[in-house]
Chains A and B, each alone.
Chain A
Amino acid sequence: MPERTTDEVLLKRAGEGDQAAFLELYDRHRQPIFRFAYRLLGEVDIAEDVTHDCFLSLIRKPENFRPERAPLRTYLFAAARNLALKYFRDTGRETTLDEVTEEPQLSPRQEPLRKLLDEELAAEVRRAVFTLPPLQREALILFEYEGLSLNEIAGITGADVGAVKGRLYRARERLKSILRPYIDSGQELNRGREIVTLREA
């Protein structure tokens, strides 16, 4: 069975000008990187910019990626994170709650009431996540949403595992306190969704 071409091979070919290889590489990683950037920054446009620059850096500065140190995915997350932090620093501000306006559209095949409730809940969660300081937020996003290990997160953020643990812990505690009123309704919603799924089936 022919093994899947590794990221490193694809990257090497991309570095030689193979667009297909580069796009393959991009296709493999674009979703998590974009999601991460979006959740970190809160705006689709900036997230796209970050994703773009993140992937292009593979071509422009190939020497920055050293496969013996970490897998490509970690490198990409780290690059995206640094671009995002750079953005925060350069704009001189943190994305505040008021400025978070654009909500991602969910699947249209939803019951209106459910949709409304879902959207409201999603907005609340999002708002809660954005109250976290950036370092806690990035740890939470990488851990909860992207499912990375603590070691990987530590590699990406340049902190050690203990620090990541601490951030994650504080982030969770904070979120729990903020989102406590919604936890029950979230469970109800979950149950409701199961019912809807059954009906549709």
Chain B
Amino acid sequence: MGVEPENEFVSDDELKSLLERWNAPGPSRVLDKRIATSFAREFSGADGLSQSVLLPHRREEVVSMKFCSRCEEEFADKFSFCPVDGTPLTPVSAKVEDPSLTVSRDNDPSVTKAQGTTRPAVQASEPFVEPAYAAAGASSGSRALVQREEYHLTIMNDTGLVSRLAHELGDVAHEYQLTWPEFKRDPFGFTKRTFVGYGNMFMKFLRKPNVLLAMGAAMLGMLALVGAVMLMDRSQSATTSRVGLIVFSVIAGGLLVALFSTWLGRERGAAVMGAEPSDSRSVVAAMITSFVFLFAILGVIVGINYKQRGLIAQNNGEESEVADQIFDIPNEQPTPDPGTAGFNKGSGGGSKPKPEKAGGGGGGGREESKPASFGKLPQASLDVPQILPPDPKPVLPKNPALPVAATVVADPMLVPPDARVLPYGDYKSKSTDPSSGPGSGNGIGDGKGTGVGPGEGGGIGPGRGGNIGGGDFNAGGGGPGGGGGGYDRVFTGREVTSKARLLSKPEPQYTEDARKNQITGTVVLKVVFQSNGSVSNIRTVSGLPYGLTERAIAAARQIKFVPATKDGHPVSMWMQLEYNFNLY
């Protein structure tokens, strides 16, 4: 077809002259410069993407259209699902300008306001320039990006963070505004579609290669971390098993590392980390390093914790803490035969810790004709040597220089002190006439020796060599829990049910001399916290000069405490006190 002017379509002169009134400005110098710069940049090695200025302020919308496969419509990028039928949308490449599409726009009243124009009959004919050719510049900048779906270029504009956030929020609000009518119209359907859509998207995500593998690895790592932390936490409360736990966790960590390094073969390890297969070696190395690093951190944390606890304990010690508090709870022990010895029927064999039958006995008498009279037994003791045997009719010297009480050689556990106001005598006798009995040796009874009864020795009852129970002497024992003497004796920390609890503990004062002589150190005292609340039997285990030990003892006497208990009874208890004397 020729290019000659067709007369019937040469415009009216009038219209032409009128149209000429509308002058168009020329391109500005800014544009000239911009073109020159863009050209230079294009050839300076900079990526052409850096200035893809296809209508810059609309660029993101150019790139991002999404396509619904069901209703075959395109939607803006902000839609994840088709607003019409809820199908997940797929990103679509910028479409080539299709002539037929543009022709149809010709009659679109919403776009062009053209009313009543007739549709050209020739629209379907072959275009002179093929679409791809005609679209040359149109999509050159963006099409390449969109077609490669796995690579989305994000161009950050240099606006502030807040304004960008506001923009994003505005977009979200807008989206909700758009979907609200839809929701209002059909809430259930909309919710269902949303769930289905998101579910599909999630399943699609899961089906991607290595996603499950990576998630599993991440979960495993997290679980290992949490488990290790919990173990460490627990190990703080149980001190005895802590070392074992630490050793265990170290071994487990090493095993885990080994497991990972073997399990992650070259390709798989690389795939998990999303790296190229050629990087697999470094990936495995990186994983091992990270594990080692993780356990190193855990170790440091545990170490710091341990050290801190040590420091706390040390601080407490400086404040003269009662140090002898850590005992295991006593185990119950078998009771000795009931009623073998002594007067506490069914209450054991004696003071010794292990259950053992007591034995021995004693007797005496002052060779009187009358049988030994009834009376109470004197205080029994195995430790203190007997000085004065009991006598129903004691001869008391006036104003004695050293008053001494009569005793018998027997286990005090088996012979409880008798508080009755009675003369000494044989507790089995029915005679009330005061008499020491026909025996010999200054005791009471028929026997021989300084004891009470028919036996021989300083003990009580039949038998020999002191103590009580018959037969040869044997210091029996009931042991803790055996009740071998009731709750009167002094218990150790292992034996009591609950230990003595301190209420107030005055601090000892430095003496002037000690201060002058720069004396520092620790005074260790062994005391009995009596069941009645007093402190007695104070013994110095290790002392300090210049009156510091005395000060410590004085302070110990002022301790207020709740007595230890055993089976609900308040009992006396041995305690070791340490007083630290420091000069600062």
Name A residues whose Cβ lies closer than 8 Å to a Cβ of B: 14, 17, 19, 22-23, 26, 30-31, 34-35, 38-39, 44, 46, 48-57, 59-61, 64-66, 69-70, 74-75, 78-83, 85-88, 90-91, 93-94, 104-106, 118, 121-122, 125-126, 129, 131-136, 143-145, 149-152, 154-163, 165-170, 172, 175-176, 179, 182-183, 186-187, 189-190
Contact = CB atoms under 8 A, between A and B. Distances in A.
Interface residues of B, number: 75
10 contacts: A23-B35, A70-B128, A70-B129, A78-B133, A78-B134, A133-B117, A150-B6, A161-B1, A166-B122, A186-B18
Interface stretch (B108-116, B257-265, B392-400): B108-116
A194 to B, nearest CB: 12
Contact of A133 (B40, B53, B114, B128): B114
B151 interface: no
B353 interface: no
Contacts of B25: 38, 44, 104-105
B152 interface: no
Contact of A85 (B22, B27, B97): B97
A94 B112 contact: yes
Contact of A160 (B12, B18, B24, B122): B122
B345 interface: no
B122 A163 contact: yes
B237 interface: no
Contact of A125 (B6, B18, B30, B137): B18
Interface in B1-16: 1-3, 5-6, 9, 11-12, 14-16
Given A35-B24, A86-B62, A118-B21, A151 B1 contact: yes
Interface string B530-566: 0000000000000000000000000000000000000
A83 B53 CA distance: 11
A57 to B, nearest CB: 3
Nearest to A182: B18
B17 interface: yes
* 5 interchain residue pairs of minimum CB distance: A79-B137, A57-B137, A64-B136, A82-B138, A133-B112
Nearest to B94: A86
A145 B138 CA distance: 23
B42 interface: yes
Contact of B117 (A14, A79, A170, A183): A170
A182 to B, nearest CB: 6
A63 to B, nearest CB: 9
Given A83-B55, A172-B12, A158 B127 contact: yes
Contact of B55 (A50, A81, A155): A50
A159 B3 contact: no
Given A69-B133, A125-B22, A48 B122 contact: no
Nearest to A138: B102
B15 A57 contact: no
B382 interface: no
A37 to B, nearest CB: 9
A163 B137 contact: no
Nearest to B119: A166
Nearest to B5: A149
B19 A19 contact: no
Contacts of B61: 90-91
Contacts of A126: 22
B376 to A, nearest CB: 117
Contact of A145 (B19, B34, B136): B19
Nearest to B143: A61
A159 B36 contact: no
Contact of B36 (A19, A75, A163, A165): A19
A38 B122 CA distance: 28
Centre residue among B55, B62, B120 by max chain A CB count within 10 A: B55
